[in-house]
């Protein structure tokens, strides 16, 4: 006997059934997402995933007769037995069993069930491992930059911003406005003088009086300044917000012998979360991978995570390379620069002070944000102690010690808080 719940759901039946299915097979889904993360590129996080669930995990419970105990059963006769014959109890297995055996050319198998996770469902499982709060999952703020643009003219400013055409136009208008009454009076006197000269001589008192008044008017017109400080107009420029469009993300990782595969996997989740945050904020993102042991090298993503190295550790080689790449490609204010460094903290003692100097003076002044994670369950290493000296003086710098993926979120908490304010 099998018991199957076939009651109808009132609304959103498919969505309810889907959520019930995901709760039932949560373990298999989490394992599949974890395997997918290991094989995915950092840039390929924002997609769904196909999950294969074995058929044996989909079987439904049912009741059947057990093989133990005493029970009687009557069968019809056949060519081997007649009515009333007693039949020995069959041993375990038999023709109806499903044990192992030789290959056969008969029968048919059943494929595993393939379940497609949507992008949102895949990210929910990914976020569960990182212990991100719901607010961070659903609300990532837009970071805005400011650009300067023309906004008309102003009467105050610096000489470098004087608009000559606008200033000369204003001066001309002022001269016309101030001299207009004088010019009108001068035209009237000119007509009176012409009419008076037809009746009187040049030497008459009335003619001299008109000429004297006309001279005074011309003198007043000439005294009007050609340009005055009141006429000056300056180009006005204001800052307006604009969404930032491009960013570069530096991934720096120690690949010396002390960084095992488990630590690299934790670092990859950290880099993925940072890329996901940037992808919600910027239209175009470039990723630069820098790996190091005693020397640093810029590599592609596959070599960054999977190439094996051994030997000592000189972290300053990677920071120097990152600083050089920033100055060669990403200066000029057009790029928003983010840095993420993952290490187990083990470094050559004499090199750690150099790392602090390079990071504090050559990298942090150019970065929007730089995060350092130390993946180790033990005591803080010498690199951590040097980096701690930078934390108080740089608001765009954070460091965190990590033992498991759930410890990654505190690094991002301050970053999200600033941009959600």
Number of H helices, E strands in the chain: 13, 10
Domain residue ranges of the chain, discontinuous segments joined by + = 13-54+117-130, 138-143+244-420, 154-236
**Total-model pTM:** 0.49
Q: Which single residue is written with the structure tokens 């993952």?
A: 342
Distance CA 362, CA 231 (A): 48
Q: Give 252-276 pLDDT, tens digit per residue.
A: 998 887 787 888 888 888 888 788 7
pLDDT of residue 412: 67
Q: Is 312 helix (H, G, I), strand (E, B) or coil?
A: coil
183 or 76, greater pLDDT: 183
Q: What span, in angstroms and rounded, lies between the C-alpha atoms of 287 and 248?
A: 6
Lookup result for tokens 């109890």: 89
Please state, for a pLDDT cut of 90, what percent of the chain lies above it. 7
- Compute CA 356 distance to the chain's CA centroid, rounded to the nearest angstrom: 26
Mean pLDDT, the chain, as a whole number? 75
* Secondary structure (3-state) at 337: strand
Residue 410 near residue 373 (C-beta atoms within 8 A): no
Residue 214 three-state SS: helix
Strand partners, 250: 288, 339
Pick from 83, 86, 54, 62: nearest CA to 72: 86
pLDDT band at 398 (very low <50, low <70, confident <90, very high): confident
Confidence (pLDDT) at 358: 93
More confident residue, 113 or 151: 151
CATH number of the domain at 138-143+244-420, out of 3.20.20.80, 3.40.50.2300, 3.40.50.410, 3.90.1150.10?
3.40.50.410
pLDDT of 34 above 90: no
Of 147-151, 304-308, 387-391, 415-419, which one has max mean pLDDT?
387-391
CB atoms inside a 10 Å sphere around CB 168: 14
Query: Can you read off the two tokens belonging to residue 80?
Result: 């081997």
Distances from the Cα of 403 to the Cα of 343, 375, 379, 415, angstroms: 12, 6, 12, 21
pLDDT of residue 288: 92
Strand ranges in 121-233 using DSSP code E only, listed in sequence order: 144-154
Cβ neighbours of residue 377 closer than 8 Å, sequence gap 6 or more? 403
Which has the minimum average pLDDT: 22-36, 80-94, 190-204, 225-239? 80-94
Q: Over 70: is that where the pLDDT of 161 sits?
A: yes
pLDDT at position 5 is 56
Pairing between β-strand 113-117 and β-strand 49-53 as defined by DSSP bridges? antiparallel
* Burial track 285-309 (b if 16+ CB lie within 10 A, e otherwise): bebbbbbbbeebbbeebeebbeeee
Percent of the chain with pLDDT over 70: 65
Q: Judging by DSSP bridges, how do beta strands 144-154 and 49-53 pair with one another?
A: unpaired
400 beta partners: 373
Confidence of residue 324 (pLDDT cuts 50, 70, 90): very high
> What is the distance between the alpha carbons of residues 90 and 98, in angstroms, rounded to a whole number?
15
Which of the residue ranges 79-83, 128-132, 134-138, 191-195 would you say has the lowest mean pLDDT? 134-138
More confident residue, 39 or 341: 341
Q: What angle do CA 414, 415, 420 make, to 5 degrees?
A: 95
């Amino acid at each position: 006997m099998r018991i199957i719940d076939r009651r109808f759901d009132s609304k959103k039946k498919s969505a309810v059934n889907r959520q019930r299915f995901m709760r039932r097979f949560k373990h298999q889904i989490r394992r599949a997402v974890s395997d997918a993360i290991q094989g995915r590129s950092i840039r390929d996080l924002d997609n769904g995933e196909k999950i294969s669930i074995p058929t044996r995990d989909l079987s439904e419970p049912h009741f059947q007769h057990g093989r133990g105990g005493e029970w009687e059963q009557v069968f019809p006769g056949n060519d081997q037995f007649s009515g009333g014959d007693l039949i020995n109890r069959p041993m375990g297995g038999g023709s109806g069993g499903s044990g192992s055996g030789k290959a056969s050319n008969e029968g048919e198998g059943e494929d595993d069930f393939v379940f497609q996770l949507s992008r949102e469902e895949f990210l929910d499982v990914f976020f569960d491992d990182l212990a991100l709060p719901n607010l961070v999952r659903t609300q990532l703020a837009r970071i805005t930059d400011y650009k300067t643009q023309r906004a008309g003219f102003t009467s105050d400013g610096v000489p470098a911003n004087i608009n000559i055409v606008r200033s000369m136009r204003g001066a001309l208008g002022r001269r016309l406005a101030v001299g207009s009454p004088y010019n009108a009076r001068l035209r009237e006197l000119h007509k009176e003088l012409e009419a008076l000269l037809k009746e009187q001589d040049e030497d008459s008192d009335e003619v001299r009086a008109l000429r004297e008044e006309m001279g005074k008017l011309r003198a007043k017109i000439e005294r009007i300044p050609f340009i005055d400080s009141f006429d000056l107009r300056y180009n006005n420029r204001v800052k307006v917000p604009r969404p930032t469009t491009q960013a570069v993300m530096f991934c720096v990782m120690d690949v010396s012998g002390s960084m095992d595969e488990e630590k690299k996997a934790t670092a990859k989740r950290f880099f993925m979360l940072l890329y996901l945050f940037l992808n919600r904020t910027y239209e175009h993102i470039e990723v630069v991978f820098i790996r190091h042991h005693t020397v640093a090298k810029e590599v592609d993503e596959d070599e960054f995570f999977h190439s094996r190295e051994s030997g000592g550790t000189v972290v300053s080689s990677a920071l120097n390379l990152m600083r050089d790449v920033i100055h060669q490609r990403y200066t000029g204010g057009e790029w928003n620069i983010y840095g993420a460094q993952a290490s187990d903290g083990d470094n050559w003692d004499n090199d750690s002070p150099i790392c602090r100097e390079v990071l504090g003076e050559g990298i942090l002044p150019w970065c929007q944000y730089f995060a350092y994670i130390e993946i180790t369950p033990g005591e803080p290493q010498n690199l951590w102690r040097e980096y701690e000296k930078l934390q108080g003086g740089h608001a765009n710098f954070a460091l965190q010690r990590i033992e498991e993926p759930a410890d990654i979120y505190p690094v991002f908490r301050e970053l999200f808080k600033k941009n959600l304010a």
